[in-house]
């Protein structure tokens, strides 16, 4: 009987030790790779913050990453490919993150002179009002590294100098052709006037939002 008790106690102790090593969530952490963009963008999680722009594979859409990545030494101006451990948080707080992330390995770090802004963007709304369907929307092609913008007002070709620093942006020396387009001139004048006032930007997933102070002036969407 004494030996039976000892065996039972031993099994119990081994079980206690084993359960103490298991993740508290009861799930094995996932290992995933992430592509990280060269700049952070304004976003709102539990409050206003700066987010990484991430995607899990080339060709996918950039999305905002609201959390932190433990042990990741991020530097703006570089494109990264990293391997991370994705760990489920047991009983997360309301509106809090469901997962935490830890760097396993930095697979690639590449200096870039490019920018998330360097693309063609189509106007979706002006001064808070959506463009009417069926109209030819204005567009911008931003080239921050060259300090240039070219675009289209919906009627006329457009160009300007472009200055970008951190999350500040300015369009100066705006010039455009002078063709008259019936029914489109009001949109054109509103668009040009908005660009003259713009002083900062936010990128939210595939949307670019241009502000004058805290007032949204132009909302654009990246061309696929």
CA distance 180 to 206: 32
Is 221 in contact with 198 (CB distance < 8 Å)?
A: no
Domain boundaries, the chain: 25-111, 120-222
Give Cα separations from 192 to 65, 67, 157, 196, 198 (angstroms): 33, 37, 11, 6, 10
pLDDT tens digits, 168-196: 899 999 999 999 998 889 999 999 999 99
pLDDT of residue 26: 56
Q: 120-222: which CATH topology?
A: Lipocalin (2.40.128)
CA distance 6 to 186: 89
- In the chain, which residues have pLDDT < 70? 1-27, 59, 113-114, 166, 224
Is 194 in contact with 160 (CB distance < 8 Å)?
A: no
pTM of the model: 0.56
CA torsion sign, 54 to 55 to 59 to 61?
Answer: negative
CA distance 138 to 155: 8
CB neighbours of residue 113 within 10 Å: 9
Give backbone dihedrals phi and psi of 197, rounded to 5 degrees, phi first: -95, -20
């Amino acid at each position: 009987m004494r030996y039976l008790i000892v065996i039972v106690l031993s099994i119990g102790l081994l079980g206690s030790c084993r359960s103490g090593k298991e993740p508290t969530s009861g799930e094995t952490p996932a290992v995933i790779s992430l592509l990280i963009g060269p700049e952070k963008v304004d976003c709102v999680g539990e409050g206003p913050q700066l987010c990484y722009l991430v995607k899990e594979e080339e060709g996918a859409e950039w999305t905002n990453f609201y959390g932190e990545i433990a042990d990741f030494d991020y530097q703006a101006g570089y494109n990264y490919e990293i391997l991370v451990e994705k760990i489920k948080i047991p009983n997360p707080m309301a509106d809090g993150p469901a997962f935490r992330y830890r760097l396993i390995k930095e697979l690639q770090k590449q200096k870039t002179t490019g920018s998330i802004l360097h693309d063609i963007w189509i106007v979706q709304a002006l001064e808070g009002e959506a463009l009417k369907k069926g109209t030819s929307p204005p567009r911008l092609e931003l080239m921050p590294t060259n300090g240039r913008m070219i675009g289209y007002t919906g009627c006329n070709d457009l160009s300007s100098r472009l200055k970008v620093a951190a999350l500040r942006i300015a369009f100066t020396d705006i010039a455009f052709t002078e063709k008259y387009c019936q029914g489109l001139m009001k949109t054109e004048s509103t668009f040009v006037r908005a660009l003259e006032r713009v002083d900062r930007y936010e990128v939210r997933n595939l949307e670019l939002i241009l502000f004058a102070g805290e007032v949204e002036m132009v909302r654009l969407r990246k061309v696929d």
